[in-house]
Homo-oligomer: A and B are copies of this chain.
């Protein structure tokens, strides 16, 4: 699977000890975040595949449903991707009737984005298994503990 021939024996520059918490780094949480996110996204991914959509469509459908009437600029800002990237998936969602555009009421250059009923249903269907997974993971944790978990997750986000 690689080039440089495998050695029979570790050479002097081969490190055999594992990297661990003793390096002063919280590898446990680093890895749990990776695995948690990997599995968290696997549920909707399976559903999306049935629709011929991908994770990018999920994000768009999600945020438009969370904030109907948002502009394209709002969405670009939330997703932190380029408009050319957004264009592709947004076009597909509009063409297949999951999202509608409405001229801005004050500023007619704007294209306000709204879900259709079909779009709302899709968003809910995608959120359901994720919410179930969260509920499961929160089981046995009281509201005080849940508050701390929210605080932690919020604290992981850049504050701009």
Give the interface of A toward B (CB within 8 A). 1-11, 13-20, 23-40, 42, 59, 62, 65-69, 72, 80, 83, 86-87, 90-91, 94-95, 100-103, 111, 114-120, 123-124, 127-128, 130-131, 133-139, 141, 145, 148-158
In the complex, the answer to whether A65 meets B30 with C-beta atoms within 8 Å is no
In this complex, what residue of B is CB-closest to A10? Answer: B102
- Known pairs A25-B124, A32-B157 / 18 extra A-B pairs, C-beta < 8 Å: A1-B87, A2-B91, A2-B95, A7-B103, A8-B102, A10-B100, A14-B100, A19-B127, A25-B130, A29-B153, A30-B131, A31-B66, A33-B153, A36-B153, A36-B157, A39-B158, A137-B153, A138-B152
Q: 3 closest Cβ contacts across the A-B interface?
A: A137-B155, A36-B156, A32-B153
Residues of B within 8 A of A17 (CB): 68
A85 to B74, CA, bound (A): 34
A137 to B26, CA, bound (A): 12
In the complex, the answer to whether A134 meets B67 with C-beta atoms within 8 Å is no
In the complex, the answer to whether A23 meets B124 with C-beta atoms within 8 Å is yes
In this complex, what residue of B is CB-closest to A19? Answer: B65
In the complex, the answer to whether B33 meets A90 with C-beta atoms within 8 Å is no
